[in-house]
Structure 1
């Protein structure tokens, strides 16, 4: 029950403080990510230019680095933003989208992972790839269950001194010692592009109001999963799910959180 109470407390804090979340993310999901952050109560920004990323990170409450659509200029911007985040003690999230699919993508993810992200959020195959194990992906989709990467997630978290969140049918969050499982979510969410990217963005928002990265990540994933369940109850398919998901994030209340969040 204490875990569930904390979900509402963090969601309420996001709504009250409206933290500025700086996203260096991919072309595919910018609109989805920004709208989800707005719906949950945060303030999103999508800033990528090398000339301003460091300055913008310095005024943000969290940074989210998503490698979905890589280019050399964007990778340079990511490095500058991460350096600024570490200097200013701004918590940051790494989303290693598609790690394991190509050498460039995997190398970029593993390089950034060494620069003290508060949370690495990925699917099982991405986490396995960043951990240096056999993490082949099907494009950006996982070919492994979240359970299959738990040992690698624990080891990666311990080695890097970070928190690793593995998302799938059940989401798992670990710092190498503690482990929280989140059972909320709906299968239809996997039919909407960028849902994992949205998860990473929400983790950033919750990190801005919660200093314990394990709890921040688990609570953010619970909120998104529950919103997905509520949206699926009203949706005929993935198109309407996107609309109802934003509404659910915006209207989620304490009673629903207490009754329906499933964490252990």
Structure 2
């Protein structure tokens, strides 16, 4: 599904069903150097079980046009503009990593428009090391390699991968390489800078008016569960679920558990 947002064409995957504004809407927001495809299992299930699905490609990512946006705040404004363009008044927001910050900021800016908020693989503040920032700016392939290793626990590297015949690390690496090749701008670096600079999380959390789920990976080295403690205390209705045998790439390593957690939260 293509929508004009802020003067540029934006792509949203709708889960294999035509988007219907009369159904409750669930919006999925990907993380740094990713696109909508990280949500394939979850989005298809939601779309075939009574929901209208919009899994976005952020500007400069995947099939969406325009320059990559330089801040979480700008991405949140873009997301709210996308809801307007799609004719959606209220929605569930589900975001992974950088996408969780975008979802949080959007929910803080427009609490009346968000019915439920799920933050997957989240942390606040979402600090990025100087070494990783420098690699993303000057040697992007090295940054991709580092993040790919750090985002996955050993569970995904065994022959018993949760997706039979699917090489989890290789698939994620190719996705990040494809995003890099699609745009002349330093997308990875800009995404990391946006995460590192975001400082409005506490204010946004206090403004959130809906139930919130934090879905985390026990072995997450990028956004460890302990990094959510302070933020969770600022949200009046917040539950925290930690998945075992799981790193930062929760949707790839524990796809069924992520789906079960998200769907149960949304319908419950």
Specify which structure has the higher proportion of helix. 1
- Relative to the length of structure 1, the TM-score reads 0.36
Q: TM-score, normalised by structure 2?
A: 0.36
